[in-house]
Structure 1
Amino acid sequence: MKIAVLGATGWVGSALVTEAKARDHEVIAIVRDPAKLTAKGVSTRAYDLHSNGDFAPVVEGADVVIAAISGRAAGNHELVAQTAERLLVALADTGKRLLWVGGAGSLEVAPGVALVTSSEFPVEYKDEAIAQGEALKVFRSSKSNTQWTFVSPAAVLYPGDSEGDFRIGGDAFFTNSDGESKISLTDYAKAMIDEAQRGEYINQRISVAY
């Protein structure tokens, strides 16, 4: 399988590239600045989301596109939902699936009540969480025939190796037996590449946690 990763030099994007390569998939790393890419054995294609350039040539040949983007660095959180809309349109009628690195803030702690609205939610991540929630709305309301999967990590996503079995959920926020919502970056990447390979959750949001 050939997997294109948009945002391949980012924290999550780099882990996705590593996991895809470990499974012997061909990887197209899509980055704004190719000089920052350190991964070996991947194809590199330059693309700036702030441009109006045609996205189709950048993912030519890919079977699956995984988007790992954030507006945190520049504070332009509106870019997140805008990119979701842009990719859904760009990939329509191509047969390419779109997998999205989502956030935990839109997970529901009660029916219709998002985690981001709770008083305990960290203020420093609130704008980013809201932006990802807006992106999820874009996916769910889209009329595009692009097949998508929105993959939310646990509330705590941290660097680290695989810790073994993890669970796949839906919209509901869930925790482990200690009341913790967490997943290592390695296991999140495993879950994402599993979905890239299997295509089990088409046009759905799923969540990943221990």
Structure 2
Amino acid sequence: MNIAIIGASGKSGQKIMAEALQRGHTVTAIVRTAGKITDKSVSVLEKDLFDLTAADLAPFDAVVDAFSASPGHEKDHQTSLAHLADILSGNQQTRLLVVGGAGSLYVDEQLTLQVIDTPDFPDAYKPTASNMRDAYLALKTRNDVNWTYFSPSAMFIPDAPRTGSYTLGKDRLLINSAGESTIGYADYATAMVDEIEQGQHIRQRFTAVAR
């Protein structure tokens, strides 16, 4: 498949890019600084996310949004995702897959209490989590885009080894057999590329936890 990764030089973007390349997909890294991509097998589009156009994304089967807003600019999570949805509106061939947040997952069976609203949720993470939640809620209303929103577990670990094993869920925070809600970036990338290949969550949110 022909896959574009926005933010391919970031921690999650790098892992998703490596997983896609390992499986033989064609990958284009969309980054603001081309020099950050050193793999010569990867095409590079040096462009700011907010400058991307419908024509830029039209050639791809899937566009992975691994954008990460800088501190103080957390609202960019909302505006960036809205921009991507707008330029992909009506495009039935290109999927938009979002590296999302865990804050909007629910912790109860009735789906009334989200992670971000639990008493122990750190205040320092609330600006990011709340803006990611609002971005997701806006995306949920879009029937003109083939979107998929992928929330990680509560603990999203950059350097955890790849196991290739995970359990999927939808809107509830998952806990594994060890009583932990955790997944490494590498296993998250595995699940993301599995979703790109299999298309099981069109216009849906899903989540994954390490087994």
**Range with greater deviation from structure 2 (186-195 or 111-120):** 111-120
Matched, 1:153 2:152: yes
Residue 94 of structure 2 is aligned with which of 86, 96, 100? 96
Q: Give TM-score, length-normalised by structure 1.
A: 0.93
Identity of aligned residues (%): 35
SS of residue in 1 equivalent to 2:20: helix
Whether the aligned pair in 2 keeps the contact of 1:70 and 1:128 (CA below 8 Å) is no
From the superposition, tell whether residues 128 and 88 of structure 1 become closer, same or farther in structure 2 (CA, over 3 Å). same
SS of residue in 2 equivalent to 1:108: coil
Letter in 2 for 1:117: D
Residue 86 of structure 1 is aligned with which of 69, 83, 86? 83
> How many residues are aligned here?
206
Q: Which residue is 1:19 aligned to?
A: 19
SS of residue in 2 equivalent to 1:57: helix
Q: Which residue is 2:105 aligned to?
A: 107
Q: Could you tell me how far apart the structure 1 residues matched to 2:52 and 2:175 are?
A: 41
Query: How far does residue 164 in structure 1 lie from its aligned partner after superposition?
Result: 4.3
Deviations 1:142-172 (A, max 9, x none): 24x2111000001111122223421110101
Matched, 1:59 2:63: no
Q: Which residue is 1:119 aligned to?
A: 119
Runs of 4+ in 1 over 4 A off after TM superposition: none
Gaps of 5+ in 1: none
The RMSD of aligned alpha carbons is 1.4
Q: Could you tell me how far apart the structure 2 residues matched to 1:54 and 1:23 are?
A: 27
Deviations 1:39-97 (A, max 9, x none): 33111001113x5x3422332421100001121x2421111111111111111222210
Q: Give TM-score, length-normalised by structure 2.
A: 0.92
Q: Could you tell me how far apart the structure 1 residues matched to 2:133 and 2:149 are?
A: 11
